[in-house]
Structures are given as structure tokens and as C-alpha cells.
Amino acid sequence: MRHFFSSRVRVVLIAAVLLAVILSVVASLAGVSVPDLLVKSILTPIRTGASHLADQAEQLYNYMFRYEALLAENQRLKEELALFETDARKAAALQRENDRLRSAMGMLQTHEDYKLVDCYIISRSSQEWSSTFTVNKGTASGLQVGMCAITANNEVVGLISEAGSNYAVIKSVMDSSLEISATIASSGYNGMVQGGYASGLDGLLRMDYLPSNSVIRNHDQVVTSGSTVYPRNLIIGYVVDADFDDTGVAKYALLEPAVNVGSLEQIFIVTEYNAG
């Protein structure tokens, strides 16, 4: 054990002497004293580490500050985008309304006897055999039960079945209880049109009581025959199929409605027209 410690001591002493010699040589070459060299050797790594930590802290501070700025900018951009989207929707709605009003103006020029009240749909109700919707105007605007509703393109929408002071319920052409006297425009064949719910023909209309010898073609346009309820030549739909009814002595035709009731926003109520 004594020999072991003596060897260790000798190694330490030799290392210390070599280190002293090396430091003396380096100090002599650098033109500094050994204590200065020792101080620099110890403090330089510490200073370097401290400088690095300071740089890291500054970067972290800048990142946090930049993150908050980016977060605020992101929120501002979201709010601006929401405003732009709202403005775009309003502009699109106004454009659609303008288009409808232009069409209505054209229709009034063609039918000078029409008096119209424009309405917006505020709710809908569709059950197995019925199809109705409610508009935002009523008797205070001149609407009454029995007046017909149309689009700006001269298409039949339905008939007022209920009216309050500031609302009206429209029974649409898809309602199976609503019957409309109609004519196939190209041939003049007459019949009655009603919603197809009662026949299990969802989305289609059915035109009954057509002559057994009538020639019915797909895409034939079907219009109103004219009455005290519906003006003449309002567009109801277009033929997609035809066949004999259950009696075998008359024909019927299936029609695609001219208007998609579910997509309507604005309609017009014909309050007056020349039935003659």
C-alpha cells in the first residue's frame, strides 16, 4: 500500500511539474504571467458559456415577444376574414335579389296587369303528404288566402292557404292536396296537376285526365290553363314520363317541377291580374 501511494504521489508531482513547465512556456510565448494565463484559462470558458446563455435568453425573449405579436396578428386577420366573408355573403345575396327583381320587372313589362308583392321565405314544413312554407308578409301588405305565389321567372310556386297580418303560409305545388288546371303547351292537352306525394312520387308532379289518344313527349312544357286563382301560362313543369292510368281509358304524365321549392329565397305573390 505504501508503494502504491508513493507511485501515485510521484505521478502527481511529475504531472504538476509538466503543467508548470507548459504554463511557463505558454506564458513566455504569449507575453503574460503564469497567474494571468491561469485566470484567462479559467474565466474564458465561463465567459463564453455566460455569453451563450445570454444569447439564448435574448433569443427566447424575442421568440416570446414575436409569438405574442403573431398571435395578435392572427386574431386580427381572422376577424378581418370574417368581415370579408360576411360582406361577400351580403353582396352575393344582393346580387341574387337584384337578378330576381330584374326578372320580375321584365315579367311586369310582359304582364302589365300583374300586381306583385315580393316576400322572403322564413320557414319551411315538409311532411309525408304536404309541403308548405311561411313568408314574411301578410294581410298588412295586401296578401290574402287564395292568392298564388310565383318566381321572378314566371314559374308557379303555390297558393296562400293561411294569412296573418305579417305572415302568410304557402301551400307549394309539391303538396298533394293542391290541384292546378294545366295545359301541355306544345299540344294543348288539358289536365289537372298535383304533387306526387300521394302517389309515392317524391319530387315529381302528376298530371291526370289526359286523353287516351294524346301524344305526350318528354320535355314538353306544362303551364297553367288560367283561372280566377292562377294567371294563364305560368310554368308548372316539364314532362319526364307518361302512361295510362289505372282505368286504362286516360293517360297521366309525370312532371319535373319548374322550380326547386327547397332552394327558394324570395317569391312574389300575385295580388291582382286580369283573369279574362
Amino acid identity, position 92: A
Show the CA angle centred on residue 261, arms to residues 260 and 263, nearest 5°: 70
Across the range 170-192, mean pLDDT stands at: 93
The CATH number of the domain holding residue 152 is: 2.40.10.340
Question: What is the pLDDT confidence band of residue 27, given thresholds at 50, 70 and 90?
Answer: very low
Is residue 135 a contact partner of residue 119, using CB atoms and an 8 Å limit?
Answer: yes
Question: Does the structure show a pLDDT above 90 at 180?
Answer: yes
Residue 37 is assigned to a structural domain of this protein: no
Report if residue 250 sits inside a domain.
yes
pLDDT at 258 over 90: yes
Within a domain: 188: yes
pLDDT in tens, 108-165: 667 788 899 999 999 988 776 778 999 999 999 999 999 999 998 899 999 999 999 9
CB-based burial of residue 186 (10 Å sphere; 0-12 exposed, 13-18 middle, 19+ buried)? middle
Q: Does residue 147 belong to any structural domain of this protein? A: yes
pLDDT mean across residues, the chain:
80
- What percentage of the chain carries pLDDT values higher than 90? 41
- Domain containing 230 equals 115-272
pLDDT-derived band of residue 274, with 50, 70 and 90 as boundaries? confident
All residues at 6 or more sequence positions from 148 whose CB lies less than 8 Å from its CB, including other chains: 156, 157, 158, 159, 160, 229, 230, 231, 234, 269, 270
| 123 in any annotated domain | yes
Check residues 185 and 18 and name the one with the higher pLDDT: 185
What local confidence, expressed as pLDDT, does residue 91 receive?
Answer: 75
Q: Are 85 and 97 in contact (CB under 8 A)?
A: no
- Residues 245-250 have a mean pLDDT of 81
Classify burial at 211, counting beta carbons within 10 Å of its beta carbon; exposed 0-12, middle 13-18, buried 19 or more.
middle
Q: Which amino acid is at 259?
A: V
Within a domain: residue 94?
no
**Model confidence pLDDT, tens digit, residues 189-234:** 999 999 876 566 778 999 999 998 999 999 999 999 998 899 999 9
pTM above 0.85, yes or no: no
The pLDDT, as a whole number, for residue 169 is 96
Please tell me which residue, 29 or 59, carries the higher pLDDT value. 59
- Asked, for residue 162, whether it belongs to a domain, the answer is yes
- Determine the Cα–Cα distance for residues 113 and 29; give it in Å rounded to an integer: 115
* Rounded alpha-carbon distances, angstroms, from residue 142 to 64, 112, 163: 65, 19, 10
pLDDT of 131 reads 86
Total tally of structural domains belonging to the chain? 1
- Predicted confidence at residue 128, as pLDDT, reads 64
Q: What local confidence, expressed as pLDDT, does residue 275 receive?
A: 76
Any domain includes 259: yes
